[in-house]
Amino acid sequence: MRISIHTLGTRGDVQPYLALAKGLVQSGHDVQLTAPEQFASMAYERRVAFAPLPREFLAVLESPEAKAILGRSSAGFGAGLKLLKFYREIGRRLLDAEWNAAREFSPQAIIFHPKTLGAPHIAAKLEIPLLLASPLPGFTPTTEFPTPVLPVASLGPFNRLSHALMIHGGSILFSKTIRAWRAEALALPNRRKASPLAGTLYAYSSHVLPKPSDWGSDIIVTGYWFLETKDWSPPDTLAQFLAAGEPPVYVGFGSMPGSSPERLTGLVLEGLRRAGKRGLLATAGGALATSASNEYAHMIAEAPHDRLLPFVSATLHHGGAGTTGAALRAGRPTAICPFIGDQPFWARRANALGVGPKPLDKRTMTVDDLASAFMAMDNPAMRSRAAELGAAIRAEKGVEQAVDFINDRLSEPRTTGIGR
pLDDT score recorded for residue 380: 98
Q: Residues 202, 244: one domain?
A: no
Q: Residues 316, 368: one domain?
A: yes
Query: Total domain count for the chain?
Result: 2
Please write down the HEC assignment for all residues of the chain. Answer: CEEEEECCCCHHHHHHHHHHHHHHHHCCCEEEEEEEHHHHHHHHHCCCEEEEECCHHHHHHHCHHHHHHHHHCCCCHHHHHHHHHHHHCCHHHHHHHHHHHHHHHCCCEEEECCCCCCHHHHHHHHCCCEEEEECCCCCCCCCCCCCCCCCCCCCHHHHHHHCHHHHHHHHHHCHHHHHHHHHHHHCCCCCCCCCCCCEEEECCCCCCCCCCCCCCCCEEECCCCCCCCCCCCCCHHHHHHHHCCCCCEEEECCCCCCCCHHHHHHHHHHHHHHHCCCEEEECCCCCCCCCCCCCCEEEECCCCHHHHHHHCCEEEECCCHHHHHHHHHCCCCEEECCCCCCHHHHHHHHHHCCCCCCCCCCCCCCHHHHHHHHHHCCCHHHHHHHHHHHHHHHHCCHHHHHHHHHHHHHHCCCCCCCCC
First to last CA, the chain: 23
Q: Residues 387, 402: one domain?
A: no
Phi/psi of residue 110, nearest 5 degrees: -125, 135
Distances, alpha carbon 301 to alpha carbons 125, 272, 344, in Å: 43, 19, 25
CATH code of the domain covering residue 259: 3.40.50.2000
Q: Please indicate, yes or no, if residue 82 is contained in any of the structural domains.
A: no
pLDDT score recorded for residue 71: 56
pLDDT score recorded for residue 74: 45
Q: Please indicate, yes or no, if residue 108 is contained in any of the structural domains.
A: yes
Q: Residues 206, 262: one domain?
A: no
Q: Write down the pTM of the prediction.
A: 0.92
Q: Please indicate, yes or no, if residue 76 is contained in any of the structural domains.
A: no
Q: Residues 261, 207: one domain?
A: no
Q: Residues 259, 369: one domain?
A: yes
Q: Residues 115, 34: one domain?
A: yes
Q: Residues 32, 110: one domain?
A: yes
pLDDT score recorded for residue 231: 83
Q: Residues 35, 171: one domain?
A: yes
Q: Residues 322, 383: one domain?
A: yes
Q: Residues 218, 275: one domain?
A: no
In this structure, are residues 281 and 288 in contact, taking their beta carbons and an 8 Å threshold?
Answer: yes
Q: Please indicate, yes or no, if residue 407 is contained in any of the structural domains.
A: yes
Q: Residues 210, 333: one domain?
A: no
Q: Please indicate, yes or no, if residue 322 is contained in any of the structural domains.
A: yes
Distances, alpha carbon 270 to alpha carbons 105, 137, 273, 331, in Å: 52, 36, 5, 26
In this structure, are residues 1 and 410 in contact, taking their beta carbons and an 8 Å threshold?
Answer: yes
Q: Please indicate, yes or no, if residue 79 is contained in any of the structural domains.
A: no
Residues of the chain with pLDDT under 70: 61-88, 191-194, 414-420
pLDDT score recorded for residue 105: 98
Domain around 273:
236-395
pLDDT score recorded for residue 366: 97
Phi/psi of residue 260, nearest 5 degrees: -140, 65
Distance CA 261, CA 290 (A): 9
Q: Please indicate, yes or no, if residue 290 is contained in any of the structural domains.
A: yes
Q: Please indicate, yes or no, if residue 177 is contained in any of the structural domains.
A: yes
pLDDT score recorded for residue 196: 87
